[in-house]
Amino acid sequence: MTEPSSIQELPLIIDGIRLNTIAAHIRRPDRKDLVLVELAAGTNVAAVFTKNAFCAAPVQIAKQHLAEATPRYLLINSGNANAGTGQGGIEAALACCSGVAKVTQCLTNEVLPFSTGVIGEALPVDKITSCLTDLNSGLDAQLWRNASEAIMTTDTVPKLFSAKFEIDGKALNITGMAKGSGMIRPNMATMLSYIATDAKFDSAQLQSSLQQAVDHSFNRITVDGDTSTNDSVVLMATGKSGVTIDKTNLESFQKVLNELCETLAKAIIRDGEGATKLINVVVENGLDETECAKVAYAIAHSPLVKTAFFASDPNWGRILAAVGYAGVESLDIDKVELFLDDVCLVQHGGLSQSYTEEQGQRVMNKAEITVSVNLHRGSAKTTVWTCDFSYDYVKINAEYRT
């Protein structure tokens, strides 16, 4: 999948979406950490959430509210995950939704709450609700960049992309933001993403389109193999363009949505905590996609592989070992081929006769590297994106709460 030429970092305004940010001092006194997003009446919303059994209170409430009503507002805070907080966390999330409802004159279940940050600490509800009047009064369609910065935690850069495209000769816009840097292995990490388009969708198709895009983007990235308690991806379709997406033009829209999600997902990996390299892990010719993903994640999760990449060490034995323990039944190791970019490392169960250490070193010195594994078992293929493990990853996570 390639990024379309229309993907850009300059955010496009989405008719029907307004945003605002404010410093609620949830964890740090020197940064904006609270976002309110207003959705025009008639906007359809789809969402995909974490599969972590200890899902955060806002995830539980967002799921409930999404099932009960059509959302009109999203409330997002950084600095505190409101996870592992029991019934008190549920009540806190509901209190924040109720606060938004009071200020905006909507129903409580028309508000979806989202949180990211430290797990296990009580959400400071009073700090949040005291800001809501000011947040609401300053809503503006142009504040996507401010919002993308306010949802960051250990991220070093905001992740915000847009695309302008045409369907049936009519112009459409899509804009998406994401946050995530560590605790990243979505299973739908700490990862949040909000995407809006002015296309018109029915609810069932919107959910299906989002799930397809997520499965091949956010669900194919890993920094450290940890699935967060708070992961959420939301797709909002305001319908303001007047262009209805149906079976006749869905493929065209899906292509852009997939590419935008992939761009956001790869931006998360590029900004992985302490990361210095982007690693594309491609596994092809497996029996099915599940088998390919097993092998790809075994490589992408291996601390030994990831530290070798940080050191620019072409230690191909570590990659080969990961392929071997991935759990592929009846794997014929004599058929497996392993490449770093265009350099063949392994053939016929051992080191390729054409390989030289100089070739491997040339590839390992790059900032972006592709590991390719050919299983020669079928026709399925998948790609997983990951990064290296550096000294800084340990430092960032050792000092996360200090």
Least Cα distance to 100 among 63, 58, 145, 60 occurs for 58
Q: DSSP for 100-130? A: HHHHHT--GGGEEEEEEEETTS---HHHHHT
Residue 266 contacts residue 385 (beta carbons within 8 Å): yes
Residue 277 contacts residue 310 (beta carbons within 8 Å): yes
User: How many other C-beta atoms lie within 10 A of the C-beta of residue 5?
Assistant: 8
Sort strands 159-167 and 17-22 into parallel, antiparallel or unpaired.
unpaired
Residue 73 contacts residue 110 (beta carbons within 8 Å): yes
Report the C-alpha gap between 103 and 120 in whole angstroms: 28
Integer angstrom CA distances of residue 343 from 288, 332, 338, 354, 379: 25, 21, 9, 9, 22
CB burial readout 55-92, b (16+ within 10 A) else e: bbbbbebbeebbeeebbbbbbbbbbbbbbebeeebbeb
Q: Going by C-beta distance under 8 Å and a sequence separation of 6 or more, which residues neighbour residue 74? A: 35, 36, 37, 39, 111, 112, 113, 114, 194, 234
Which residue type does 54 have? F
Q: DSSP for 247-288? A: TTTHHHHHHHHHHHHHHHHHHHHHT-TT---EEEEEEEEESS
Residue 274 contacts residue 209 (beta carbons within 8 Å): no
Q: Using the 8-state DSSP alphabet, how is residue 190 labeled?
A: -
Q: Using the 8-state DSSP alphabet, how is residue 159 labeled?
A: E
Sort strands 192-197 and 232-237 into parallel, antiparallel or unpaired.
parallel
Structure-token pair, residue 154: 């250990």
So which residues are the catalytic ones?
190
